[in-house]
Structures are given as C-alpha cells and as structure tokens.
Amino acid sequence: MFSVLASNTMAHLSEGLAVTVVVLATSCYLCYVWLIKKPTKGMAPLPPGPPALPFIGNILSLRPDLHRHFAELASTYGPIMKLQLGSKLCVVVSSASVAKEVMRDHDPIFANRYETVAAKLFFYNGMEISLNSYSPEWRLLRKVFVRELLSTTVFESYYNLRRGEVRQMVSDVYKKIGSPIRIRDQTFMTVVNTVRGMLWGGALEGEERTRAAAQFQHLMEGSFELLGETNVSDLFPGIAWLDLQGVKRKMKRFVSSLDQILESQIDQRLKMNRGDGEVNGKKKESKDFLESVLPLMEGGDPNTRLTMTQVKGLLLDALVASTDTESLAVEWAMAEMMQHPEVMRKIQVELEKVVGTNNTVEESHLPKLCYLEAVLKEVLRVHPVAPFLLNRRPSQSCTISGYTVPKGTQIIINAWAIHRDPETWVDPLEFRPERFLDPTRKWDYSGNDFCYIPFGSGRRICAGISLAEKTMMHVLASLLHSFEWRLPEGTKLDLADKFGLVLSKAMPLVAVPTPRLSNPDLYY
C-alpha cells in the first residue's frame, strides 16, 4: 500500500527551485549516506541497477507508470535491482523466486513497513495494523482485528447486513435503468455501507446513505492520492520540515475529517453503553466491532488494553483495506467483461444454472460459481489493485539472491510484473480466465504460490481476504445476474490504468444497465 512513488514524479522534481534547495540543504548529509550504503569488504554486493546521479540518484529518470517502468528496468538489471531515490536506497523485486525469499524465507526480517510522512500521519503514526512494525503490539492488534471482525462466527453474524446492502445496490441500479452509471461509485457505496455497518452499526437510508458514502469516497481517494505521491520530504529527510509540496499540510486536513468521524462513532457507542441504547439515533439490532473492542479500551488486562488511538486505527484499517480496493476490483472486472462479451455471457449462463432466473443471488450460490471465481482471479492477476503490494523494510541487513540488502532499505515487490512473468504465465498479456480452471494447479489467494500474490504473503498478508472475496463475488454476481450492460452511445471502452497507491482505471467505467429478469419483484 505504501508506495512513496507516484505518477507526478517528474513534475514535482523538475522544478528548479525545489532541486536547488534539495541539493544545497542536503549535500553533506547525502555524501555521508552515499558512503555508508556501499558494502564493506567481505559482504555481498548491492543489487545491480541503473546508473545514478550524485545526490538525487535515479529520481529524474523515473516515468509516471512506475509498475511498467520498473518491469522494463528489471528486464535489463534482473529480478532484484536497486534504485537510489535521493538519500534513500530502494530495492525492487520483480520475480516470484525473489519474492519468496523476502516474504517467506526471510519473512521475520522483512515484516516491517517502510514509513512515509503521509503514511505516518494517515495511519496514526503506526498505532494500528497496516503501518505498525512487526512486534507484540502488532500481533495483539491483528489478533483482535481478526477475532472480533473476521472470525467465522462473527462473519456469519453479519450475513443479513451484507445481503441487505447488495439487494439495496440492485434496487438502486434498477431505478436508473437506461441511464449511465459510474460503476465504481455504485460499488463503493455498497462496500462502504457494508463495512461501516459491521464496524459500528446503524443502518443508513436514502440521501443520508448516499451522502455518507460520497463523503467517505472523497476522503479515501484524496488520502490515497497523497499516500502514493512522491514526496521530497521522504527522499531528503533533512528538509522534511519545509514540506515543499504541501503533502503534510494536505494530509492533515483529510486526517482531521476522518478522525472526527471515527471519534464521533466511538463517543456515540460509549454513550450507548452508559444507557441510552441507541447508535446513530437508532436502536442497535446486533453486535458490531466497536461493541467488541471498547471493553478492551476501558479496562481489563493491561497487557491487552487498547488505547483510543489504537481503536480508531483498527476502524481505519478496515475501511482502507476494503472500500476503495474492492470497488476498484469490481470496476476492472466489469470493464474486462465488457471488453470480452463472451466472458460476460459465460458468467450469465453459469448464473442461470446455479441461481435461476426467478431467484436472487445469495452467498450460498457463490461456491458453485466456478467460472465467475476464475474471472475475478484473472482480473486480480492482470490488474492487481495494489501493484506494489505493501512496501517492506528489513530490520537488519540481509542477503537476498546473492546481494546485500541493507537494513532500512525500502523494499518494493512489483506484483504487477510478477503476475505478467512469461516464465510463469502462458500469454501473460491476454485476459484468459480459463487459466484458473486448470485442475493441475491450485491458484488461490493464500500467498503460498508466489507467482500469484494479489493479497500479499507471509506475516503481513491481508487479513480480510475471505471478506473481500465474498463481497466482490456477491456484488459481481448480482450485477451480472440482474442486468445486461452496455456502453453509453458514442463512447469507447478504455482499459488504460493509472498508477498510484492503488491501480485505478484512468477513465472511470460508465455503463448503462438493462433488466435481465422478468419479475420486477426481484429488484426490490
């Protein structure tokens, strides 16, 4: 998640004033860093990489489409290569075998995160799961997160909530028949209202539901853009106090808004616990995440007690990990199926056999939708939502594939390149869901096969894989079972992507729905 590189690299760093300030303010510091980065006698060499300029390194040669740019560099310098980004050393991994060394063979060493100015602000200075260093605190937070939100018993208790939000999505789309719909916006609203219901309850309806989802989407997209932006303050810490690009200032505004939302929900729940019995002005019907974790904040064993900041961090982790990523994956899936109508038709035939034409899609149908599952897996191969996974940082110097990776190096795992490696995948640039129906190969999301790692691997693998998979499958199945889809008149489908913290479509997908089912009652 936490790439410090983004599409505006050249624009920011080509400004003469910024470069002048950087060089003058940090030249002595960089000379020192440059010297200590060199391996000492007897140590393995650093990985190969493109020639770097003094002081600024490889910054000015970077392209906006970093996932492709790094893949091309890897074809010249190999599956493990170094880049000097200002004062920071970066190592890029572009093959399954090297990724395995990092995320399995030496996982404890590489289980820490690489922190940026924007990420530290956004993620409460690491007082949560995503950015927290691998430590007893991190293990406690992850244990609480999984036990109280993602365990089988808890997950099943949210079934009616998940089903209700998907049915509301179908109803909303049905009301817009014949009109263009932005797929990402529609699915974001479904996902965010599902997750917020699991976190702190209180069903929203009508305009309030739409307004709350739009607010979250604005805050998430704005924060993600800053998290993925190249920040001079990260590359040259000696001048971070200047905040030349205003990243810190802008992020503080987003953080303030998000923090107010999270604190208000916690405050409401604390008031409810004191006797008023309502959440968001409504009687609470079932147990939610906040109800489970607040007792850990208010008392109990000091070794397992959570702070207010940690509780807010866990709420934020759940929102970040599910909302934008899942809605993007659904958008990419719909775009690929509109590009390949034969694939969409195969899914609809499967849905007719499994679900029928006089029924609604239920979660119980999902395990039988084998072709839809293969399509989703192929989407996440071709368009991994997190193209660089979550950046890592070794806690000590380590030898990987015969090269020294110094302590504190930024480690980028280019999942986008690994998923397109011709040594692993036949016709890797082709969208071919059938490859995931091969019974001789078990392709899943567990991270055990390093050729396919859309959710990462090792200790820092995504904790919410089962929730993400079930949500994306249910949303996609419902959209395809209930509606036919076409592009608005006079438009063309564009599959170009935009690199950033997440890999989004450069042009949002807009499509027009038409009912497939003859019984109108199935849309409400």
Q: Where do the structural domains in the chain lie, given as residue ranges?
A: 9-523
pLDDT, tens digit (0-9, with 9 covering 90-100), for 72-107? 999 999 999 999 999 999 999 999 999 999 999 999
Q: What is the pLDDT of residue 303?
A: 77
Secondary structure letter of residue 7 according to DSSP = T
Q: What is the length of the chain?
A: 524
Q: When comparing pLDDT for 439 and 384, which is higher?
A: 384
Mean pLDDT value of segment 458-485: 96
In the chain, the N- to C-terminal Cα span, in Å, equals: 37
Question: Is 60 exceeded by the pLDDT of residue 7?
Answer: no
Question: Is 70 exceeded by the pLDDT of residue 300?
Answer: no
Mean pLDDT value of segment 437-452: 92
Assigned CATH class of 9-523? mainly alpha
Q: What is the pLDDT of residue 31?
A: 45
Average pLDDT, the chain: 89
Determine which of 53-62, 241-250, 286-295 has the lowest per-residue pLDDT on average. 286-295
Secondary structure letter of residue 101 according to DSSP = I
Q: What is the pLDDT of residue 209?
A: 86
Q: What percent of the chain has pLDDT over 70?
A: 89
Mean pLDDT value of segment 353-376: 97
Single-letter amino acid, residue 338: M
Q: When comparing pLDDT for 4 and 93, which is higher?
A: 93
Q: What is the pLDDT of residue 8?
A: 39
pLDDT band at 21 (very low <50, low <70, confident <90, very high): very low
SS3 426: coil
Question: Is 50 exceeded by the pLDDT of residue 220?
Answer: yes
Beta bridge partners of 83: 90
Q: When comparing pLDDT for 405 and 13, which is higher?
A: 405
In the numeric block, which tokens belong to residue 236?
A: 């040259």
Q: What is the pLDDT of residue 124?
A: 95
The Cα–Cα gap between 330 and 204 comes to 23
SS3 150: helix
Q: What is the pLDDT of residue 283?
A: 53
Question: Is 70 exceeded by the pLDDT of residue 347?
Answer: yes
Beta bridge partners of 505: 497
Q: What is the pLDDT of residue 277?
A: 52
Could you tell me the sign of the dihedral formed by the alpha carbons of 18, 19, 22, 23, in that order?
Answer: negative
Helices (H), 453-518: 465-482
The Cα–Cα gap between 361 and 284 comes to 27
Q: Nearest-5° angle of CA 414, CA 416, CA 418?
A: 70
Q: What is the pLDDT of residue 208?
A: 86
Map tokens 């797929």 to a residue: 183
pLDDT band at 41 (very low <50, low <70, confident <90, very high): low
Question: Is 90 exceeded by the pLDDT of residue 420?
Answer: yes
Q: What is the pLDDT of residue 321?
A: 87
Single-letter amino acid, residue 398: C
Map tokens 């007690």 to a residue: 305
Question: Is 70 exceeded by the pLDDT of residue 40?
Answer: no
Determine which of 154-158, 281-285, 318-322, 511-515 has the lowest per-residue pLDDT on average. 281-285
Q: What is the pLDDT of residue 28?
A: 42
Mean pLDDT value of segment 420-440: 95
In the numeric block, which tokens belong to residue 484?
A: 């036919």
Q: What is the pLDDT of residue 12?
A: 42
Q: What is the pLDDT of residue 207?
A: 84
Q: What percent of the chain has pLDDT over 90?
A: 78
pLDDT band at 269 (very low <50, low <70, confident <90, very high): confident
Secondary structure letter of residue 403 according to DSSP = E
Question: Is 70 exceeded by the pLDDT of residue 217?
Answer: yes
Which H/E stretch holds residue 282? strand 282-283
Contact between 199 and 262 (Cβ < 8 Å): no
Q: What is the pLDDT of residue 322?
A: 87
Helices (H), 228-340: 232-235, 247-271, 289-298, 308-339
pLDDT band at 391 (very low <50, low <70, confident <90, very high): very high
Q: When comparing pLDDT for 278 and 256, which is higher?
A: 256
The Cα–Cα gap between 500 and 253 comes to 20
| Burial group, residue 41, by CB count within 10 angstroms (0-12, 13-18, 19+) | exposed
